[in-house]
Structure 1
Amino acid sequence: MPIAGPSGQTVAVLRTIAVAPVRGVILAGLSLLGLGALLAQVLVLILTTSFGLIFLVPWAVDQARRVTDARRKLAARWDLVYIAQPYTPEPAPPQPDAEGFYPSEGWLYKTPRMPNLYAKIDWMLDDRATWRDFAWLLLNATVGNVLALAPAALIVYGALTVPWGVVLIVLGFLSAPVLLRLHTSGSRALLGPTRRGMRGRPSQWLLDWGHCAGLAGLSLFGLVALVAPRAWRVANYRRRVAGDWCGVPVAKPFATRTTKRDRLFFAVDPVVGLLITVVPVQLVVYGGWGLALPQTWRWFAGPNEPDWAAGWYGQIAGSDWLAIPVGVALVAVGLRLSGPAARLNGLWTRLMLAPSPEQALAQRVRELTQTRAEATDTAEAELRRIERDLHDGAQARLVAMGLGLGALEQLIDQDPGRAKEVLSKVRNNSAKALAELRDLVRGIHPPVLADRGLGDAVRALALDTPLPVKVHVDLPRRLDPPIETAAYFAVSEVLTNVTKHAEATAVQVDIRLVEDALELTVRDDGRGGADMSRGTGLRGVARRLSAFDGVMTVQSPVGGPTTVQMTLRVSEG
């Protein structure tokens, strides 16, 4: 039963003063748990940037949130200060598409495990509250411990120096509630909700750093590509990487040969390209492996420190305590610089590998001349095919129908039984002629393509294919009819080629629109080999695509699998 009145208030105040030093000791123990969570986050950051162990990120963030949630509960219980949860809502679980796949980061997954992991990492790292928790853990292990342990330290030291220490004991008890109140106020400022969001995306910083590390490796590989017989393939790959990783698209040359500029790029890139990307890479590597990890290892290993944790490793200006914060700061700076460094590397690649204006103009003229000739040849061949199909198919059926109707006219009065037989044959020829005309129209322009668009047309095509075909479509809008027709027949021819030659058991078709390019990818699990890239069918596909600035590449190693990639340029809708 609570005690009312002034005496009850006095008892409550005395009780608060008496238990405040004990609560400070409890907060100090919580700070030790927070220090462990802080070190876990640092180690996971190092392991993630060094070895790609991203699955550890949610675990480390959860450990930190457990400690901060405990501090919020203690604030509500001891000081009646409610600190609301500051975290943004957790993202919804990934949902499969129409084909049962889970799209994430430009890839398709059969299960939601990896997409869910990526979404959770982005949610945690891009939440400002996560980094405020990190700051609270760091401050609580230093300033917070001073506020929490100062009263207990005064009381213990005063008890050891009685009678002169009586003043220290009194001061310790009287200062404890005030210092703990300051601790709660600081915790509420850092652990409560914030109105501002993150200015950047830390998850994107990690991805950019990985791109920088990859670009540094590609720069060193330039020494090998310099003497490679088909160095133009490596140059085209660098052009594609500049667009995908750096956000700087680089045009590909029309000719498939290695130019002097390609050789010059491979000769200079190991120096220039490496200088551009080595700064953020080394900041993260040295900050993590050179400072934070060695010093942490020394603390866990004991007084017998290894040789690699001294001097430049695990120390700053001879101080062990500065190693962790400076190491973390270097890692943060390296991650933040990764994006600009990657873009600068892309600009350097475009400067060296992009065709000059004169070359681009000459290349465009040659390309238009060739595509116009190929489009004319394709149109003439298509007209000849239609004429041949009409002559050999529907026209012959119609002639047979005319002869049958003439005979029917003579037999209908003389021999009704024979007339019924002739009428049955005429009806069969009519049905066959209609079916052949429908097939011919479908070969010219399928009705489902005009009515439902490219995605549904390819799905209908997959249903008619004898192999199981998975189709994934990412088209935010309808495309121009000529482009949809070219893409449809390109996929149709590739599926026919797979059915005839691949000996596959499953096929996957990916269709997506990326800015001004329509990307078509057909993958199968067949035997692969040279037969997959031969024949007039795929050459016809290449000619059809060339009319739309399209290109086709076939990767078909012996033993499989085979991947056919096709790209068409589209106009803005």
Structure 2
Amino acid sequence: MTSVRRAWTLAGLAAVSWVDLLLELIAFALLCVGLVLFFSPAIELARVRSRRTRELVSRWTGREIPSPYRPAPPDPERERDGWYRDGTQLYRRAWWIRWNRRFTWIMEDPATGREFGWQLLNPLVALVFAVFSLVAGPVALRGYARWTRYWLGPRAPRRKGWLHRRFEALGHQLGLWAISLAQLGVAVAQVVVLTGAVPVFPTVTRASRAVADTFRREAERWTGVRIAQPYLPPPALPVPRGDGLYQFGKQLYEEPWWPMLRARIHWALHDRATWRDMAAAVLLPVVFPVLWVPSAALVGWGLYGLVALWITGPHGWFGMVGLPEVTSTGGAFAMTPVALAAVSVGLLPTPWLARCQAKLGRWLLGPTEASRLAQRVHRLDQTRVEVTVAQAAELRRIERDLHDGIQSRLVAMGMKLGAVEALIDRDPDKAKQLAAELREASSEALTELRSLVRGIHPPVLSERGLVDAVRAAALDSPLKVEVTASVPGRLEQPAEACAYFAVCELLGNAAKHGEARRAAIVLEYLDGLLRATVTDDGKGGADAARGTGLRGIERRLAGFAGRLALTSPPGGPTEAIVEVPCLLDPGLSSPKTSTSSETA
């Protein structure tokens, strides 16, 4: 009777899962209309109920169910000046940073999605096991423990199946369409503002661009289609003239507010990307349904057809598309393949259709040649100073290493040579001892000089190329590193050096700060772009705004118009993507490299 009582207790607790699910759906609906503060508390409240279920099942069955969630993010730390820092933004209080971190932690945790499924199905399954416990007793309780561990226990990442990938692609199609609808709403606000509140137009335009940037980011993350930003750089702050007045066009102002506002209005109105965004906001919500509605209709018709055949009854569902009515079990067996075929046909092209939607978005939201040129000029102006500073810092480092290392050793060797000259006649044994010390010191100096040269430009990079140089760095790393490369020959030497030092810095950060044990490096070259992806299993939490090493990588990449994309949630894993535009070097012969290796 104890097992029966416990099974029914768990069934009663499971019934509350539908209440949690309802609260989460309400919080999600509020999130969609801009009330974002309720979603995270709703999820965390449901996790309390899930934790209670895991504890009871573990205690009553002896089968421990560990927590499936990633480690929670750390609380923000107050700076010395009393402010809280999140990237490049400062806050007087920590609650917004804490909420934002916990929201990201919840949304990026795979266990969150599994918990939704568990909350939906668990009340029915728990009731079935409770009824079964009247007959089987402890066996039913242990079966429920296995069910709970499957949904609420930790699960190793695994490769997504064919069905999962295509359902996910269909969701991506709907997600891109939903973002385009949001962009349409902001575009309507832009048109309204233009008719009577032009000073507000730059602010509304920034909101529209934020939505468009969300489309670009999610399109790349979901489909791999990269959409660059097309916008012209914003105007600089007004600078006073010699007489203290501020000028915009032919008009002078005493205060900087008006010329700054007029410059921003001019910037927003005369940037062609503003109007391209508005055109995309009108066209994409209309065109996207042409790509996803047929697939969604086939999938929905097939799934409901399966439910109608075996649960609710057909009720003319198949007859409305010209198929014979199902009136018997044999007919249900005959029509089941038809419903499954409809689902399969609807899902089959969804990845390709999702990429088509992203490419259409790139055609409308991507940069034109004029905007690319303007961005390049602006970026060159920004990076010119950074490259000069980075070069000066590198020269100071080399000078410091030479002064503190090699130079001091050479001075000491010169003094010992003088002592050898003075002792060689009157104390030959002592002179021989000093000569032996000199030989050892020269060997150490040569080793240090070679190490310094490797820090400037390693010989293996010049002789063997980027892939072998990265493999050599992986062998020297304390981590267990797997290197996979697909590079069709030698690249331009400056680009190889830039990518090499960036990868070495990322490996060093993973070992020193990330407390990682394993790392993976993937080198790829495609269409004039070298991409190096470094992934480690460390504790995460890396922030380019706070780390001097990561800022150094960004400064080094700036000279090549490259970029560093960092994904490092608290608890890990950390993934850093280094991209360097470059060309193949025809003057250097090297066979195409497409290999994989792993260090011990």
Pick aligned residue for 2:552 from 540, 546, 559: 540
1:215 has 2:221 as partner: no
1:514 has 2:532 as partner: no
How many angstroms does 1:276 deviate by? 3.4
1:310 has 2:315 as partner: yes
Letter in 2 for 1:252: Q
Match of 2:516 in 1: 504
* Cα distance in structure 1, aligned partners of 2:219 and 2:475: 38
Q: Determine helix, strand or coil for the equivalent of 1:520.
A: strand
The superposition leaves residues 171-225 of structure 1 with CA deviations (integer Å, 9 ceiling, x where unpaired) of xxxxxxxxxxxxxxxxxxxxxxxxxxxxxxxx9xx97785354122232245668
* Cα distance in structure 2, aligned partners of 1:269 and 1:559: 41
Contact 1:232 1:262 in 2 (8 A): no
* Cα distance in structure 2, aligned partners of 1:280 and 1:495: 47
Q: Determine helix, strand or coil for the equivalent of 1:534.
A: coil
Mark the CA change 1:526 to 1:334 in structure 2 (over 3 Å): closer, same or farther.
Answer: closer
Mark the CA change 1:247 to 1:439 in structure 2 (over 3 Å): closer, same or farther.
Answer: closer
> Greater CA radius of gyration, 1 or 2?
1
Q: Determine helix, strand or coil for the equivalent of 1:513.
A: strand
- Unpaired runs of 5+ in structure 2? 1-112, 114-155, 187-203, 235-267, 327-333, 586-600
Match of 1:389 in 2: 401
* Cα distance in structure 2, aligned partners of 1:230 and 1:501: 36
* Cα distance in structure 1, aligned partners of 2:278 and 2:285: 12
How many angstroms does 1:451 deviate by? 2.4
How many angstroms does 1:325 deviate by? 8.5
Contact 2:173 2:292 in 1 (8 A): no
Map 1:38-49; keep pairs closer than 5 Å: none
* Cα distance in structure 1, aligned partners of 2:207 and 2:482: 34
Mark the CA change 1:246 to 1:269 in structure 2 (over 3 Å): closer, same or farther.
Answer: farther
How many angstroms does 1:487 deviate by? 0.7
Q: Determine helix, strand or coil for the equivalent of 1:406.
A: helix
* Cα distance in structure 1, aligned partners of 2:354 and 2:425: 89
Pick aligned residue for 2:290 from 276, 284, 294: 276
Match of 2:227 in 1: 250
How many angstroms does 1:569 deviate by? 1.3
**TM-score, normalized by length of structure 2?**
0.52
Letter in 1 for 2:456: I
Match of 2:445 in 1: 433
1:320 has 2:325 as partner: yes
Map 1:305-454; keep pairs closer than 5 Å: 306-307=312-313, 309-313=314-318, 315-317=320-322, 319-320=324-325, 334=346, 338=350, 341-342=353-354, 344-454=356-466
- Unpaired runs of 5+ in structure 1? 1-50, 52-109, 122-202
Q: Determine helix, strand or coil for the equivalent of 2:569.
A: coil
Match of 1:553 in 2: 565
Map 1:423-502; keep pairs closer than 5 Å: 423-502=435-514
* Cα distance in structure 1, aligned partners of 2:568 and 2:350: 35
Mark the CA change 1:347 to 1:272 in structure 2 (over 3 Å): closer, same or farther.
Answer: farther
Mark the CA change 1:411 to 1:548 in structure 2 (over 3 Å): closer, same or farther.
Answer: same
Contact 1:239 1:250 in 2 (8 A): yes
Deviates more, 1:424-433 or 1:274-283: 274-283
* Cα distance in structure 2, aligned partners of 1:218 and 1:340: 14
Letter in 2 for 1:543: R
Match of 1:526 in 2: 538
Structure with the larger RCO, 1 or 2 (CA within 8 Å, 6+ apart): 2
Deviates more, 1:215-224 or 1:422-431: 215-224
Map 1:193-232; keep pairs closer than 5 Å: 211-221=169-179
How many angstroms does 1:437 deviate by? 1.0
Contact 1:528 1:558 in 2 (8 A): yes
Question: Identity rate of aligned residues, in percent?
Answer: 43
* Cα distance in structure 2, aligned partners of 1:506 and 1:280: 45
1:288 has 2:302 as partner: yes
The superposition leaves residues 64-114 of structure 1 with CA deviations (integer Å, 9 ceiling, x where unpaired) of xxxxxxxxxxxxxxxxxxxxxxxxxxxxxxxxxxxxxxxxxxxxxx99x96
Contact 2:487 2:523 in 1 (8 A): yes
* Cα distance in structure 2, aligned partners of 1:427 and 1:286: 82
